[in-house]
Chains A and B, each alone.
Chain A
Amino acid sequence: MADLGVMALLLGMALSTYSVVGSVVGVKTGMPALVVSARRALYMTMITAFVASGALIAAFVQNEFAIKYVAEHSNSVMDRAFVWVAFYSGNEGSLLYIVLALSIMSALAIWFAPRRMERSMPWTIAVLAVVQLFYFFVLIFFASPFELLDVIPEEGRGINPLLTHPGMFSHPPMLMGGLIAITIPFAFASGALISGNYGDDWVDVARVSAILAWGVLGAGMLIGAWWAYTILGWGGYWGWDPIENVALMPWLVLTAFIHSIMVQKRRGMFRMWNVALLNIAFVLAQLGMFINRGGPVVSVHSFASSALGIIFLSFMLLSLLFAFGLFLWRMPQLKSDRAMESFMSREAAFLVNNFLFLAVMGVTLWGVVFPLFSDLARDVSVSVSAPYFDRANGPILLGIVLMMGVGPLLPWRKSSARSLRRWFAWPLVIAVIVIVVLVALGVKRPIAILSFGVVAFVAASIMEEWWRGTVARHRSGDKWARAWWRLVNGNRPRHGGYIVHLSILMLGLGIIGTNFYQQRTDGALALGESLVIDNYRIEYVDSDSSSRPDRIAQWAEMSIYRIDPADYATEISLARAQGSDSFRLKDSTRRPNDRLIDQIQPWHGFYPDFNMASVRSGIRSTIVEDLYVIPRDFLSDGRISIAVSINPLAWWLWASGPFFILGTMVALWPQPAVERRPVRTEKQIRALATGDL
């Protein structure tokens, strides 16, 4: 298998080299046949990537421990389903996965790209092939997954226990795939620039491929957060770890891009700006690859620091030079068709939103590099972690959410006072009502209340638009549900966007709830004892353990009771006096108003081969709040040490996922060809308007 894999990689490198040279020479010397063969070579690299990946997976399935990568990332007792995870669980394998993903996406993009892009296509292909060439080159010379061991071990080391979670089947491939997918819109934009075909032909293709990359990356981050919440056992879901940040940064820039590309599509503006955004996103994706592989900052995700750092750094700098060199060269031709008419227009709002996205990106980047600066400038190391990013980015993110409500309410070009009044009144009123109600209810934390108000404003603005649109269609004879559906179908990019906005609001609810109102406590319980926090009593009922070759697992059975604090008044005041929010009860007799509401089984596993523990928290999740029990340790005296948190609104974080994906798909769903034709006659306009097509 190793030989087959190596041969496939070599062939892949040769083919992508041919594809680069063939495209460039073919265009320069005017030989269409060469261009066509270069394009076919790029299709062929996909096949070589498939063969190489297949060889590695086959080696895993057959336990070929002669291959170093297989021996280090799997063993013979491991569940076969995890072969897919093992494939990309290490540095070399993940690079192979990346080249596989890139070659598939390149082939699809070239296949589906419209005919009219024929002029810029060879250049697009050349850019794609250069990136593939780089990864093949690294795989062959610096990080071969097919390296053989001198002494063949009896048994492999096994898979990293943290990775044995269903989320791992999708989170890493989606993140890596999403990051590398940014290459596709970048290549289309570059192709258009190099060929001088900078009309708006590339806009549709770049928009679709950018939304795809953005959706995959976003969903991948969300799944990663869910994985962290359920398995990493630290009670959080996003730690502002450097690797999380380098995935977030290009995502933010892509978010800016998919908004401002609509301005180019609809109004012919922001051409320069859109190209610049794609360039930044691509370079940031390369920065992510660099930091992930032997970069200069520590992270829980990074692969063992390898000599690869410098190679990836060089490639990133080359990308930077290429992207912005090209940009500067072609800048004069990227003028806007039309000018801005008013500050109170959607295009102006989009521009402000873009800069806010870039600001979050910039602040995050600053946080990532600040420790390096500190080291260099005054030889003192500092840490920049979650508390910094929460504070520095939180307000800007709130500003972005606010713009999410303002932008869509503004019309293109300019607003009349009448339309502003009409569209802003209700959302503002509702936001004020929400804030007043929260304050009246005695909810604390002014920032959080303000944030809830902003969320309410945006939600109301979306509902308002759907309501008015649906009512208008309902009056013209459609049933309610159908009226709404036709409204959404009438402009999918827009209404898909609204669905995504709703999902972001749900995410926002979860973030506000968990960040501002989380309650935490910890303690150790013997069998039969309980821990009381807030309205919950957690009783440690039973425990069990099992021993497997690779791990020692222990789990606890716990009952959760909803209590009436009045029953526990003495204990509560005693605990308060000691500054605690919780207390331990030795005697777990039920008090009058205790009500059993759930059973949880927090699980704790220890993996001697990795000297690593892995936990599954016990979670009781409701729409209002999660009760979250982390088993920190099973102590030798039979007690269990637990950390407990109450995470308000955490449910909404995960509920946002399906809406995010749904909205992205609605926005991407192609409009039927007939609707895309320009509307010219009065008759056609009427037909389109009444839906008579």
Chain B
Amino acid sequence: MASRFPFIVIGPRALSVRPAAVLLASTMIAIFAVATGCIREDDLTLEQRAHQLYSQLMCPVCDAQTIDGSNAPVAQSMRLKVRELLDDGKTNSEIKEYFVLRSPEGEAILAAPEGGGFNLLAWIVPFFITFGGIGIALLTIRNLRRSNARSAEFAAAGSGSATDQNDLAKYLAQVDRDLGISPIPAAGKAGPGTPSPDEKADS
């Protein structure tokens, strides 16, 4: 039962391109969705929200530090202010807005760019990079497989070279097995049911 499980996902026989790609893409999308789904404010105590906000506001006099980590007086007073605003019942975004409007740094007081417009770029580009990257990888693999199919045809057309290729493949399989993790020269020599690691070197 348990050992069948992966095949419900991957497919029983044909390990074709599509299920794998779909699986990978959907996993990644699921991860992204959950990650951006984020934590709801109501679930947190005021103190937890305060610390969340501390790590989202930059300390204006420090180099690249949030007020969470800074001992500077201005960071201390900002922390007090955050707590005060939370006690007044303000939401996280209202509090951030408060600091953006009041501080001379403007938007730079936020530890991560927010809002629409140009700042959206900061968040969209990572998606393109990631999915573009995975897309290129999958396309590359597909192209490499195509060229493989062509060269196989070519080899089949040439006389004698097919057997050469065959020998070479056998030899390589042997080498793979032996340089791999297996103590057993060939899979066939392993006893029935012996869990031998060279299973993975099998082709």
**Chain A interface residues (CB < 8 Å from chain B):** 232-236, 239, 241-242, 266, 269, 297-300, 302, 336, 338-344, 348, 351-352, 354-356, 358-359, 362-363, 366-367, 370-371, 373-374, 377-378, 380-388, 391-396, 398-399, 402, 409-425, 428-429, 444-447, 450, 465, 468-469, 471-473, 475-476, 486-487, 490-491, 494-495, 519-521, 576, 578-582, 613, 632-633, 678-679, 685-686, 688-691
Contact = CB atoms under 8 A, between A and B. Distances in A.
Contacts of A367: 122
Nearest to B107: A382
Contacts of B71: 233, 613, 632-633
A339 B111 contact: no
A399 B47 CA distance: 32
Contacts of B133: 355-356, 358-359, 362
Contacts of A377: 118
A366 B27 CA distance: 24
A685 B174 contact: yes
8 contacts: A234-B65, A359-B134, A363-B130, A381-B105, A472-B182, A520-B47, A579-B45, A679-B179
**Chain A interface main SS type:** helix
Contacts of B36: 391
B197 A465 contact: yes
Contacts of B141: 340, 343, 348, 351
Contact of A421 (B3, B28, B55, B86): B3
Contacts of A416: 202-203
B5 A428 contact: yes
A521 B47 contact: yes
A239 B182 CA distance: 44
Given A399-B31, A450-B31, A487-B181, A385 B58 contact: yes
A368 B199 CA distance: 45
Nearest to A688: B178
Given A468-B196, A472-B194, A579-B87, A388 B122 contact: yes
Contacts of A632: 71
Give 3 nearest A-B pairs by CB, closest first. Answer: A579-B46, A234-B69, A339-B148
Contacts of B105: 381
Given A429-B2, A679-B178, A386 B55 contact: yes
Contact of A374 (B2, B21, B113): B113
B102 interface: no
Given A343-B20, A377-B118, A679-B178, A385 B66 contact: yes
A334 B113 CA distance: 42
B163 interface: no
B69 A232 contact: yes
A298 to B, nearest CB: 5
Contact of B129 (A354, A362, A450): A362
B195 A471 contact: yes
B55 A423 contact: no
Contacts of B181: 465, 469, 487, 490-491, 494-495
Contacts of B134: 352, 355-356, 359
Given A446-B34, A688-B178, A299 B183 contact: no
A412 B70 contact: no
B69 A450 contact: no
A469 B31 CA distance: 33
Contacts of B20: 343-344
A473 B184 CA distance: 9
Contact of B108 (A381, A409, A420): A381
Contacts of B108: 371, 381-383
B113 A370 contact: yes
A468 B141 CA distance: 30
Contact of B45 (A348, A351, A475, A576): A576
A465 B3 CA distance: 16
A677 B18 CA distance: 41
Nearest to B49: A579
Contact of B203 (A242, A348, A414): A414
Contacts of A241: 64
Given A366-B125, A487-B181, A576-B45, A402 B27 contact: yes
Residue from A354, A387, A422 with most neighbouring chain B CB atoms (10 Å): A387
Given A340-B148, A393-B126, A685-B178, 5 more contacts: A299-B64, A354-B137, A384-B113, A424-B6, A425-B6
A26 to B, nearest CB: 39
B98 interface: no
